[in-house]
Structure 1
């Protein structure tokens, strides 16, 4: 494993040098971690990386660090729009379809490794987008979903609640594009997801590294309302070998975030825990699936802010990865993040 990564250095030495500079630019604050993730990435599908770099090297040209960063983010969002979010959700996923996201194109050989011990996945969603896309008020959304979640939890038959929940979830998902879905491995956070555990919402947000769901920045007085879905791996579309299409998250698969950290090139990804905690939670990407009422685990409200500085969290996360990855990946993140270790 070379540094900088071959897909970047061989395609555009000038862009490589710019990213190396931006990754160490103190004026970018924790945004520099987004740059470092590109320098750690080892996605070898050149049909994907070559196109990305070819456009980026013509668009990311500013010498001012902040302007260059904004140019890269603008290019990245354009890439996501054109290559990952250009289609609508379909009843049957096809990796050969014209609008198949780049995430699922090309050959992979780690599918079995990702699902060997995984039976259930989870997904956390904000209620606000469900409200917007379904056309229902946030109060109505919470009422419908909470009624059904309570019925399931208490073992009460409530067919009307199930019908209402299914209709609401369908109307929400009909407005979504076909972007890849980020999911967590349920068993990795099963200790958090217990209704008798106060503050499970805050702890789940932290274990999943979702620093953007910080109510102190979004809605200090109201908190952030969320829904949690639990669904079997068998719900995920499969490849030609009948393996679930689960993929390692890469820097190319979503909008960059300060608390994302490029994972080792083999196996699942790992969420950056927003607390100083030894435990890791695996994360994967898969094609869009249809969530139904039966998949709704529960609702809650995130109320606590993120208190630990992200540079401290990233450094601790990389130290945890050092015990799980090959030496060459450790060598790479020592190049990008040696100041944190």
Structure 2
């Protein structure tokens, strides 16, 4: 829940009512004389809000919203008019991609390679079978999972220029980076319209443009994944970055066996991830990196996620890992910006050396 006195911007997702997100999200202290505009709307199956400051805030927000909706139209797996839907429902093994989709797929394939498949843009046959797209939730049999896994090997897809070559039956899903990508485009649009201070909540993906109008950092509260009705577990003071969380508590269903199955998948098994993590938060400069890494590191599990952070020379990011045993891991680069607000069993600060 939000703490309106603290001014925290909650890192929530779809399980929390939108009105609570809005109430807490815009409780930051700013000068009453500063021109601002708030725009709220639904896109990508979630509630989104943008607050911008400056004389062009209203125009900028409208343009940013338009860009997000255009992105949704491009990558939706359920909209029959989207490019991704048309690709997924085509029998062609060679697909000519638009410039934007070509760029997005290039970044996705690069991420799949660097994370050894922990991030995989070709998992759609599996996630669809489990019902996370259709909402027809069920646990597939082992034989069915094994069959579908043959369609999810990203190494069987390659690009030459703007042409995608794929094995028959392979299907794309950019859900793991869609909001981060849309957020980056929205930030760019705000800048082009003269905005230098803004805060975006894209269904729990928090993206910060600059600092507050008074020059101070934004205050962000990291949601309690163990007890949703309690206050944030960490307070973060940050500016000009993306703060993106993936968690098993966000979307899940309970099977006939009484077990909870989450929406984040292990691409090597075709099954929902089941490890010691309850959430992964990535702090980085751009939304697309935060989105893909929060998904990938959650799938990796605690130890591999820490090792990936330590060894990664390609991605510049910080991590906050929350574990099922109420312990936490914080990377050294975020430690000074992070204040503990909950009783943890243990907090580990990981260092590069």
Compute the TM-score of the two structures, normalised by the length of structure 1. 0.31
Q: Which structure: greater strand fraction?
A: 2
TM-score (norm 2): 0.31
- Give 1 or 2: higher helix fraction: 1
Instruction: Answer 1 or 2: higher relative contact order, Cα 8 Å, separation at least 6.
Output: 1
